[in-house]
């Protein structure tokens, strides 16, 4: 993204940044280099050799004994150091999340400060894993940890540089939509209003059967047609290719769904079970093709990554098949922002501590448009599924506490309460069995400013997805980084995004990991592997042996 001096008078639909004196943070030098014969730096790329060490386990059928065998696999990684000009297109740009993330990018770009009842506040990226957290790089001469910002591990796009656009079924400009959302402080909104008023979403698609009937009043900005058709796919492709990417001279675009939760789509043999069947079903206007799947298909055909931030099953088998055939990244589902993130962390902690959870009761009430949409049963069911499965892998991992087929009771309730607006109230009770038949009850009351937690996740998803488009790998059997063996991209289903998502999408046939610590460690250690560094280790033998 480059500054646009004409932004003050531009009539474009897109977020044009007007601060002509701005210097991109992405132009700063790299914070560290790796001193290793296994790492080579070139002007446009970093090449590294990495040994992946793990342990394979088999079971002796006669004795029932496990046999653990350490294994090693050699990989080469190649990282493109050239930072591209990137745009993000949001489906539901005029909603709470879309207006909040756009306002946040503008505020950070301009370094805004505004008054609140608690005193002045300045723009920041708190809540973003990429921009707000650090990782251990190593230890210094005194054996103390050296920590660096996560966004400095690889040459990542800075969010201040993102160009923003998108679609919405409402024709409000983003200044009006920001007022409707009622998320931000009035003193901040006043500083953003002029720029936000110039931003108007493109018309979106609206299939009434997939979202709550109470959303019909917002649907005044839609493409003709109330069910799937190839004309909708073609129009969205044009929007991505011509009206956004080319018009703003971008190198790459990421499309992200942050619109209303849809009902679950039925998986129908011969309709949405393969890529070819899905495309034919769209051509025939089949009623079981969701709007989010249309956006996913259009993005995939445009070689543009697509991320689903809502809980519906956008990625039916045919959509996953299509992404794999075209080698395009997809990721989902449902932003993991407040209550579910707490649940992932607490359940992981309790089970790892040997405490047996026997029930989890989660109650929510919220008053934003997401809550209004979820007040209808079909849409709520999508959210209930994404919230209910987040403990499964942690329970299955502990066969001491839970016998085969045993599982904690787990219920989720969501109610629409307009009075609380975007400040979602989440009440959770964790009931556990402890030593000698005793019990422990943990109750948490969590007030989550919903869009202010979700918006940094949108930023993380875009930045990490884009970074993954510049990382390639190959199997290695030699020490020659100049080998002519071709490199490959990661699997089209980006499971590395799991930390930000309630119901992580994984490649077909692979396990789902919901444990928050494992998700974060996987992301960080993949990034470390790309520059030839071993996984983070807390062995600290230099402290413990001498």
pLDDT in tens, 317-357: 999 999 999 999 999 888 998 888 888 899 999 999 999 99
Q: Report the CATH number at residue 350.
A: 3.30.360.10
- Look at residue 499 in the predicted model and tell me its pLDDT: 95
pLDDT of residue 213: 77
Q: What's the rounded Cα separation, in Å, for the pair 514 and 499?
A: 8
For 356, phi then psi, to 5°, come to -95, 105
* pLDDT for 8: 33
Kindly tell me if the per-residue pLDDT of 461 is higher than 60: yes
Determine the average pLDDT of the residues in 3-23. 37
Query: Quick one: which of 463, 426, 411, 357 has its CA closest to 101?
Result: 463
Place of tokens 């796919």: 233
> How many other C-beta atoms are found inside a 10 Å radius of the C-beta of residue 377?
10
Q: Give the pLDDT confidence of 249-287 residue by residue, as tens digits.
A: 999 999 999 998 898 999 999 999 999 999 999 999 999
Least confident of 14-18, 158-162, 424-428: 14-18
For residue 105, the model assigns a pLDDT of 98
Least confident span in 9-18, 86-95, 380-389, 460-469: 9-18
Inside any domain, residue 542: no
Instruction: Give me the pLDDT at residue 79, please.
Output: 97
How do the residues of the chain divide into helix, strand and coil, expressed in percent and rounded to 5?
35, 25, 40
Cβ neighbours of residue 165 closer than 8 Å, sequence gap 6 or more: 13, 14, 15, 87, 88, 89, 90, 93, 199, 201, 202, 244, 248
The pLDDT value given to residue 320: 97
pLDDT at 18: 34
Per-residue buried b or exposed e for 212-250, using 16+ beta carbons within 10 Å of the residue's own CB: beebeebbebbbeeebbbbebbebbbebbbebbbeebeb
| Residue 379 within a domain | yes
CA 340 from chain centre, in angstroms, equals: 14
| Region of poorest pLDDT, from 235-249, 309-323, 500-514 | 500-514
Residue 29, in any domain of the structure? no
- Rounded mean pLDDT of 459-467? 98
Question: Is 363 part of a structural domain of the chain?
Answer: yes
Q: Domain range holding 443?
A: 339-449
Whole-number pLDDT of residue 388: 63
| Contact in structure between 207 and 190 (CB atoms under 8 Å) | no
pLDDT tens for each residue of 433-452: 999 999 999 999 988 888 99
Helix (H, G, I), strand (E, B) or coil at 270: coil
Between CA 532 and CA 34 the distance in angstroms is: 8
Where residue 416 falls (left for φ over 0; alpha for ψ -120 to 50; beta otherwise) is beta
pLDDT at res. 3: 33
Domain-located, residue 413: yes
Residue at 421 is within a domain: yes
Mean pLDDT across the stretch 175-195?
Answer: 96
- For residue 86, tell me if it sits in a domain: no
The two tokens of residue 122 are 């300045």
pLDDT digits (tens, 9 = 90+) for 48-61: 999 999 999 999 99
Q: Specify the residue for token string 């300045």.
A: 122
Report, as an integer, the average pLDDT of 513-524. 93
Percent of the chain with pLDDT over 90: 72
Mean residue pLDDT across the chain? 89
CB 141 within 8 A of CB 90: no
Distance from C-alpha of 107 to C-alpha of 122, rounded to nearest angstrom: 8
Question: What is the bridge-based pairing of β-strands 252-257 and 202-203?
Answer: unpaired
Report whether pLDDT(493) > 60.
yes
pLDDT computed for residue 273 by the predictor: 95
Report CA Rg, the chain.
Answer: 24
Instruction: Classify 431 as helix, strand or coil.
Output: strand
pLDDT (0 to 100) of residue 120: 97
pLDDT score recorded for residue 521: 95
> Measured in whole angstroms, how far is the alpha carbon of residue 455 from the centre of its chain?
10
The per-residue pLDDT for 414 is: 84
| Mean pLDDT of the region 376-388 | 62
pLDDT at 217: 83
Could you give the CA distance from residue 90 to residue 14 in angstroms, rounded to a whole number? 11
- pLDDT of the residue at 111: 97
Report the C-alpha gap between 528 and 533 in whole angstroms.
5
Note the pLDDT of residue 93. Answer: 98
Q: What is the pLDDT of residue 356?
A: 96
- What's phi and psi for 27, nearest 5 deg? -80, -5
Closest C-alpha among 309, 87, 93, 88 to residue 201 = 93
pLDDT tens for each residue of 116-169: 999 999 999 999 999 999 999 999 998 899 999 999 999 999 999 999 999 999
User: What length is written for the chain?
Assistant: 546
Number of domains in the chain: 1
**CB contact at 8 A, 300 and 322:** yes
**pLDDT score of 379:** 66
**Would 382 be classed as within a structural domain?**
yes
Q: Return the closest-CA partner of residue 283 out of 234, 240, 325.
A: 234
pLDDT on residue 385: 64
Positions annotated as catalytic residues are 334, 383, 424, 502
Tell whether the model's pLDDT for residue 13 goes beyond 80: no
């Amino acid at each position: 993204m480059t500054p646009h001096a004409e932004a003050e008078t531009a009539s474009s639909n897109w977020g044009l940044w007007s601060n002509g004196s701005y210097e991109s943070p992405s132009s700063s030098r790299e914070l560290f280099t790796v001193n290793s014969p296994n790492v080579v730096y070139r002007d446009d790329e970093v090449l590294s050799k990495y040994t992946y060490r793990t342990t394979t386990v088999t079971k002796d059928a006669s004795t029932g004994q496990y046999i653990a065998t350490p294994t090693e696999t050699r990989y080469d990684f190649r990282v493109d150091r050239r930072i591209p000009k990137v745009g993000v297109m949001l489906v539901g740009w005029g909603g709470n999340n879309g207006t909040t993330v756009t306002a946040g990018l503008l505020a950070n770009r301009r370094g805004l400060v505004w008054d609140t009842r608690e005193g002045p506040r300045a723009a920041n990226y708190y809540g973003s894993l990429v921009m707000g957290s650090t990782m251990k790089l190593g230890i210094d001469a005194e054996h103390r940890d050296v920590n660096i910002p996560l966004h400095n591990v690889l040459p990542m796009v800075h969010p201040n540089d993102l160009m923003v656009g998108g679609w919405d079924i409402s024709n409000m400009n983003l200044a009006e939509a920001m007022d409707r959302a009622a998320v931000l402080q009035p003193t901040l909104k006043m500083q953003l209003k002029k720029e936000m008023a110039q931003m108007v979403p493109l018309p979106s698609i609206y299939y009434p059967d997939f979202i709550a009937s109470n959303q019909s009043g917002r649907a005044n900005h839609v493409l003709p047609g109330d069910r799937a058709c190839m004309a909708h796919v073609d129009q969205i492709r044009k929007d991505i290719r011509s009206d956004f990417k080319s018009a703003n001279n971008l190198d790459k675009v990421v499309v992200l769904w942050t619109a209303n939760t849809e009902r679950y789509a039925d998986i129908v043999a011969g309709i949405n079970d393969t890529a070819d069947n899905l495309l034919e079903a769209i051509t025939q206007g089949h009623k079981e093709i969701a709007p989010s799947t249309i956006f996913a298909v259009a993005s995939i055909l445009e070689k543009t990554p697509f991320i689903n931030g809502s809980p519906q099953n956008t990625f039916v088998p045919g959509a996953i098949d299509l992404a794999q055939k075209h080698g395009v990244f997809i990721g989902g589902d449902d932003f993991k922002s407040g209550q579910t993130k707490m649940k992932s962390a607490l359940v992981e902690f309790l089970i790892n501590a040997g405490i047996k959870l026997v029930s989890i009761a989660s109650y929510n009430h919220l008053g934003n448009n997401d809550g209004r949409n979820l007040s209808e049963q079909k849409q709520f069911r999508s959210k209930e599924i994404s919230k209910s499965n987040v403990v499964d892998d942690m329970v299955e991992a502990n066969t001491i506490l839970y016998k085969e087929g045993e599982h904690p009771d787990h219920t989720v309730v969501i109610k629409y309460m307009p009075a609380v607006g975007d400040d979602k109230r989440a009440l959770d009770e964790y009931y556990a069995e402890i030593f000698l038949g005793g019990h422990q009850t943990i109750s948490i009351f969590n007030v989550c400013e919903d869009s202010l937690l979700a918006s940094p996740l949108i930023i993380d998803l875009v930045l990490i997805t884009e970074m993954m488009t510049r990382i390639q790998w190959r199997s290695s059997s030699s020490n020659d980084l100049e080998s002519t063996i071709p490199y490959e991209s990661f699997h089209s289903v980006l499971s590395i995004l799991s930390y930000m998502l309630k119901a992580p999408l994984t490649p077909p046939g692979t396990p789902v990991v919901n444990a928050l610590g494992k998700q974060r460690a996987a992301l960080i250690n993949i990034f470390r592997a790309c520059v030839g560094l071993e996984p983070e280790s807390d062995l600290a033998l230099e402290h413990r042996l001498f």
